[in-house]
Amino acid sequence: MRIDLLRHGDAVREALDGDARRALSEEGVRSIRALAAQLRGLGPPPARAFSSPYLRARQTAELVLAGWGTADATALELLTELEPDADPVHAMRTVSGMAQDATHVLVVAHQPLLGRILVRLTGVERGLAPGTLARIEWSPGAGGGASLERVLPPE
């Protein structure tokens, strides 16, 4: 299974109704659109797409899917398991259970969760700046290994 872990793009610093409602900044929108253009050249779009329900993560996922040309073909699935301080083991069990027949999934979420997932799957300790994508090849079965294939930082 190919997993694209994507940290949401740069977001505004505050929202009147709380952190979950923080939107992407203008710079965040621009950099995510540029990333989507890069992704089009790296193979077919994901079969499944999962996002944190936080506004900035949803906006990021929607922009990437639209740029990949899959906004209608891939329904975005919102998971509370992808909120910032969620348990990485539970998050990946949920994603792998829901996408067990998919060969490529997109997961859009936050730090520190994405960094914890990355280290659990690959052993690589790396934080992800806003708008950074980490592509992983993973065998989710018992004893399945994973490798970090590429990292695409924001422009």
Q: Any residues with CB less than 8 A from the CB of 28 and at least 6 apart, and which?
A: 8, 9, 10, 11, 56, 59, 60, 130, 131
**pTM for the whole structure:** 0.93
Per-residue pLDDT of the chain (155 residues; tens, 9 = 90+): 999 999 999 999 988 889 999 999 999 999 999 999 999 888 889 999 999 999 999 999 999 999 888 755 568 999 999 999 999 999 999 999 999 899 999 999 999 999 999 999 999 999 899 999 999 998 766 566 789 999 999 87
Q: To the nearest 10°, the Cα dihedral for 88, 98, 143, 127? A: -30
